[in-house]
Amino acid sequence: MWNDRFAGEAFVYGTAPAAFLTREAGRLPAGARVLSVAEGEGRNAVWLAGQGCAVTAVEGAPNAVAKARRLAAARGVTVDFRLCDLRDWPWEADAHDAAIGIFIQFGPRDVQDRMMAGMKRTVRPGGLVLLHGFAPRQVGYGTGGPPHAEWMYTEALLRDRFADFEIRALRDYDAEIDEGTGHRGRAALVDLVARRPAG
Ligand SMILES: C[S@@+](CC[C@H](N)C(=O)[O-])C[C@H]1O[C@@H](n2cnc3c(N)ncnc32)[C@H](O)[C@@H]1O
């Protein structure tokens, strides 16, 4: 299903990074080693690479990875793209300065919990997890995202899942988004920036 969605020439979520990422990227150290989870067609990884980050980007849809590679080449940046189903991703411990997940609510809670646990594990002590996705009321907005309120983020859910991290930012808000044809219009969003304790 995802691969079919990415079959055309157009970039389904556009080629510009998520506003959340450009807002929060200043928290990353210079030259940060970043893992991007479910990167899609490359918009966020390519932008981060342009900022000087060393980005590994995991994505399960071959059509998306092919377009992401073309976008990186067109922008003259290098990204380590990995075509891999996230159910098989090894989540190497302490390997990254940050892990980002932007609109990765593609499965039910247990699937998302495993990914969140993996993201927490793969950042080094003092490293950051950045999550950006939809709040439950998004389901009524019809401007993108899965049609399942129970797959969405709430502040309480993220506080619980990141109870052993330091919450640096957590917000639930509405904003206009204009990200390709996939996300367009008023959206109910949740942002999280959480830091693994330095130990
Ligand atoms: C809503 S899109 C977001 C893409 C990208 N993060 C962005 O913001 O442009 C969700 C992405 O998750 C990917 N995906 C879904 N299930 C996956 C899985 N099991 N393993 C890896 N990627 C998956 C899809 O192919 C798609 O690219």
Q: What is the pLDDT of residues 52-72, one digit of tens each?
A: 999 999 999 999 999 999 999
Q: Calculate mean pLDDT across residues 110-134.
A: 98
Whether 132 is in the pocket of ligand 1, judged by its Cβ within 6 Å, is no
Atom of ligand 1 nearest to the CA of 85: 20
Whether 130 is in the pocket of ligand 1, judged by its Cβ within 6 Å, is: no
Higher-scoring residue by pLDDT: 180, 126:
126
CA separation for the pair 80, 20 (Å, rounded): 22
Average pLDDT over residues 95-121: 98
What is the model's pLDDT at position 184? 87
Range of the domain at 7: 2-195
The confidence score (pLDDT) of residue 181 equals 86
Q: What is the mean pLDDT of residues 148-169?
A: 98
Measure Cα distances from 40 to 28, 62, 101, 125 in Å. 21, 9, 11, 27
Which residue's alpha carbon is at the smallest distance from atom 4 of ligand 1? 40
Output the domain CATH number for residue 67.
3.40.50.150
| pLDDT tens digits, one per residue of 77-103 | 999 999 999 999 999 999 999 999 999
Strand partners, 188: 174
pLDDT at 183: 87
pLDDT number for residue 52? 98
Give the pLDDT score at 79. 98
Distance 2 CA to ligand 1 centre (A): 7
The string of pLDDT tens digits covering residues 10-42 is 999 999 999 999 999 999 999 999 999 999 999
39 lines ligand 1 (CB under 6 A): yes
Q: For all residues of the chain together, what is the average pLDDT?
A: 97
**What's the one-letter identity of residue 119?**
M
Q: What is the pLDDT averaged over residues 123-134? A: 98
Q: What is the pLDDT of residue 54?
A: 98
pLDDT of residue 180: 87
Total domains, the chain: 1
Mapped to the 3 state alphabet, what secondary structure does 106-132 carry? CCCHHHHHHHHHHHHHHEEEEEEEEEE
Distance, CA of 44 to CA of 28 (rounded, Å): 14
pLDDT in tens, 181-193: 888 899 999 999 9
pLDDT exceeds 80 at position 199: no
